[in-house]
Amino acid sequence: MRTSRTRSFRIRPLRRGVAALFAGVLTVAALLAAGTTAHAAGTPLRDLAAAKGKVIGTAVTGSKLTGTYGDIAGGQFNSLTPGNAMKWGSVEPTRGSFNWAEADQIVAFAQAHDQQVRGHTLVWHSQNPSWLTNGTWTTAELSGLLQDHITTEVTRYKGELAAWDVVNEPFNEDGTYRSTLWYNGLGADYIAQALTWAHAADPSAKLYINDYNVEGVNAKSTALYDLVKSLKARGVPIDGVGLQAHLILGQVPGTLQQNIQRFADLGVDVAVTELDIRMQLPSDSTKLAQQAADYKAVFDACVAVTRCYGVTVWGFTDSDSWIPDVFSGYGAATPYDENYAPKPAYDAIAASLGGGTTTPPPTGACTATYSVQSQWNTGFTGQVRIACSGAALSSWKVNWTYGAGQRITQAWNATCTQSGAAVSCANASYNGSVPDGGSVTFGFNASWSGSNPVPTVTLG
């Protein structure tokens, strides 16, 4: 095969009729720049998530839902979880006397902002009213109290909530059941009963069991897995598992995606329900960069598994996070700082959801254009032009498949091979580089008979 830079060849007059065939040239644009993004900078996270079929939520405090806090909660998220407002101690502080004010307010805010609500939580060992925890109850009384509580609260929001964290934190770290008012009083089956009662009160809400330290594959998550499997086998209404994900900087479990997948394979949804990633204070740019990578890893794992429903952060701003109150010396765990400025973690979430807030999307492309230069009764001369605009190449390869038995007999300014109908031409040693705004051509002779349709070329 010839590889000389120029070649003179005989141009025979085209036959009329056939000329029309040659008029067609086909250009295939191959986007060669990496990281093409579908969304411009500044697209709200909720829109990015929705485009991926995911839900992005935040825990909220009802009294704060105005001003900047309200703007961000309503503008960036498509799901809200009341941080405390739906817990038993909040809604029934005195037996028989209910306070739904904050829960109602959050539901109304969500509806006004076209958001889902995730109910949290119906059965827990913590944040219960003292009249309940200090009381002495028979098994039947305790069961009746729990059934009434679940029925009352779920019925109040019937049809309005996407999901309920029905049972919260039922396991110890070793996978045994946590010793609680419920387990001790009712036995392990309180979980199945709670799910059944919740389903009876609102058949449309998705019902979850929610826990922490179940993000990776470990004894606790395996106990949850075994429980869900047995509940499903019994026909108990269970739709999903919540992985709280109160994580520590640099410690996203390596088995997160695998764990999400194994629950998905069981036939339940998975939601990351309470994500935050705490660091030792003060924060600095290195820690914030690590935190961004950690947030991205969690979102990436959810994006990768179809049945991962979405990710909720446990407060979106460091000014509304439980971490500093509970873990002395730790904080800065959320995607926004205390003044509502987005942190690197925010950009990382956007990037995971397909947004591009840090790198402008590439606009350039390189294209390969195939054309027939001349044709005679048994052969023809063809040319491929590779041109770049807003992008550049350091090497190239062009492929096509002939549809009518054409065969390459000779090529120049490229190394061409043909196997059956498939042709592949790579740059010669001297013309691999195609600068932005520049072009390279190569030529070939080939045989044809019957017809000589122009093939589709791809540039790789």
* Residue whose C-alpha is closest to residue 153's, from 80, 207, 103: 103
The full DSSP string for 403-417 is: SS--EEEEEESEEEE
Least distance to ligand 9MR, CB of residue 97, Å: 22
User: Looking at 83, 240, 342, 355, which residue binds ligand 9MR (CB under 6 A)?
Assistant: 83
Which residues, 161 to 200, sit near ligand 9MR by CB under 6 A? 168
- Residue 322 contacts ligand 9MR per CB under 6 A: yes
Q: Is 76 in the site for ligand 9MR (CB under 6 A)?
A: no
Nearer to ligand 9MR, 43 or 244 (CB): 244
Task: Please name the residues in contact with 213: beta carbons below 8 A apart, sequence gap of 6 or more.
Answer: 173, 220, 221
Q: How far apart, in whole angstroms, are the C-alpha atoms of residue 430 and residue 440?
A: 11
- The nearer residue to ligand 9MR, 124 or 448, going by C-beta atoms, is 124
Rg (CA), the chain: 31
Using the rule CB under 6 A, is 274 a contact of ligand 9MR?
yes
The CA-CA-CA angle for residues 453, 454, 460, to 5°, reads: 145
Q: Pick between residue 93 and residue 361 the one whose CB is nearest to ligand 9MR.
A: 93
* 244: contact with ligand 9MR by CB under 6 A: yes
End-to-end CA distance of the chain: 22
Q: How far apart are CA 156 and CA 95, in angstroms?
A: 17
Token code pair at residue 54: 């995911």
Order across the sheet with 414-419: list the strands.
Answer: 414-419, 422-427, 397-401, 457-459
- Minimum distance, C-beta of residue 177 to ligand 9MR, in the bound complex (Å): 17
Q: Determine if 334 is a binding residue for ligand 9MR (CB under 6 A).
A: no
Of 321 and 357, nearer to ligand 9MR (C-beta) is 321
Residue matched to tokens 């939580």: 121
Size of the site for ligand 9MR (CB under 6 A): 8
Query: CB of 334: closest distance to ligand 9MR in angstroms?
Result: 12
Would you give the binding string for ligand 9MR spanning residues 25-44, x where CB under 6 A is met?
A: --------------------
- Closest distance of CB 168 from ligand 9MR, Å: 6
**Interaction of residue 126 with ligand 9MR, rule CB under 6 A:** yes
Beta strands in 244-364 (DSSP E): 246-248, 269-280, 308-313, 330-331
Q: Is 452 in the site for ligand 9MR (CB under 6 A)?
A: no
- CA 95 from centre of chain: 43
Number of H helices, E strands in the chain: 14, 19
Kindly tell me which of 88 and 412 has the beta carbon lying closer to ligand 9MR: 88
In the bound complex, what is the minimum distance in angstroms from residue 368's beta carbon to ligand 9MR? Answer: 56
List binders of ligand 9MR among 209-228 (CB under 6 A): none
Least distance between ligand 9MR and beta carbon 321 (Å): 8
DSSP result, 182-214: HHHHH-TTHHHHHHHHHHHH-TTSEEEEEESS-
Sheet holding 365-375, edge to edge: 26-30, 365-375, 379-389, 439-447, 407-412
Contact 13, 442 (CB under 8 A): no
| By the rule CB under 6 A, 127 interacts with ligand 9MR | yes
Q: How far is the CB of 87 from ligand 9MR (least distance, A)?
A: 7
**Comparing C-alpha atoms, which of 357, 267, 314, 339 is closest to residue 83?**
314
Does 84 sit near ligand 9MR (CB under 6 A)? yes
Per DSSP, the three-state class of 221 is helix
Q: Is 119 in the site for ligand 9MR (CB under 6 A)?
A: no
274 catalytically annotated: yes
Q: Which 354-383 residues touch ligand 9MR, going by CB under 6 A? A: none
Nearer to ligand 9MR (CB atom), residue 54 or residue 278: 278
Instruction: For residue 57, state whether it binds ligand 9MR (rule: CB under 6 A).
Output: no
Q: Give 322: exposed, middle or buried? Use CB within 10 Å, 0-12, 13-18, 19+.
A: middle
CB-based closest residue to ligand 9MR: 322
Amino acid at 154: V
| 240 part of the interface to ligand 9MR, by CB under 6 A | no
CB of 458 to ligand 9MR, least distance (A): 51
According to the binding rule CB under 6 A, does residue 137 interact with ligand 9MR? no
Q: Determine which one of 92, 153, 274, 338 is catalytic.
A: 274
Interacting residue ranges for ligand 9MR, rule: CB under 6 A: 83-84, 126-127, 168, 244, 274, 322
User: Where in the sequence numbering do the catalytic residues fall?
Assistant: 274
